[in-house]
Amino acid sequence: MAVLIELFYLPPVSWFSVVKQQAPLMLEQHEHYQKGSYRNRCHLAGSHGQIRLSIPLLKGKHQQMPVRDVRIDQRQQWARQHWRTITAAYGNSPFFEFYKDELILFFEAPPPFLFDWNLQLVDWLFSQLPFDTNRQLSTEYNPNPTDILDFRRQISPKLNQASTKPYAQVFQDRFGFQADLSVLDLLFCQGPEAQKYL
């Protein structure tokens, strides 16, 4: 059965675990923007603990704005800062060198809309974690779908999602295993083996 889920910025491992188990995948594009969600933020492992990256959005965003209309505030140097943070956190991870040349291209020219940015990154991640998602975009907003598994509002920074089994992480010797970080953490630490952990 197909699954319906929101589109996030470099989604957490739990998001990919849900997506891998279901096909086809329906990404919700007709919802309203939700503050305090993974739509414009992600969590990484850092040398001083968990890092929370957040994409700045133009003023005017609110709970009633369609998610496709949310614009990124390009006046700020957020893309450069995010890339520097990712490089500092994962530069010494086993597989960072393998993925960095493709990934940096996204941070050099992000599109103006948050949804488009997230979609580009998720499509790239799908190509690096090769499994057939048969990705589609929703055609309308349905608050109570009956013919699809609705995972909207199930994955949130405010909820405590369980991750897949632990894997070796950077800085694990300092902080122990940190569950449900961005899938970038899994990809940079496990490389081609990442798919087995989802």
Chain segment 27-70, per-residue pLDDT in tens: 999 999 988 899 999 999 999 999 999 999 997 655 679 999 99
Give dist(CA 177, CA 167) in Å, integer: 8
Provide the residue type at 160 as one letter: N
| pLDDT of amino acid 133 | 75
Give dist(CA 135, CA 190) in Å, integer: 24
Give dist(CA 68, CA 28) in Å, integer: 10
End-to-end Cα distance, the chain? 18
pLDDT tens by residue, 94-111: 999 999 999 999 999 999
Q: Between these two residues, 15 and 59, which has the higher pLDDT value?
A: 15
pTM of the predicted protein model: 0.94
Neighbours of 45 (CB within 10 A): 24
Average pLDDT, the chain: 92
pLDDT tens by residue, 133-157: 789 999 999 999 998 999 999 999 8
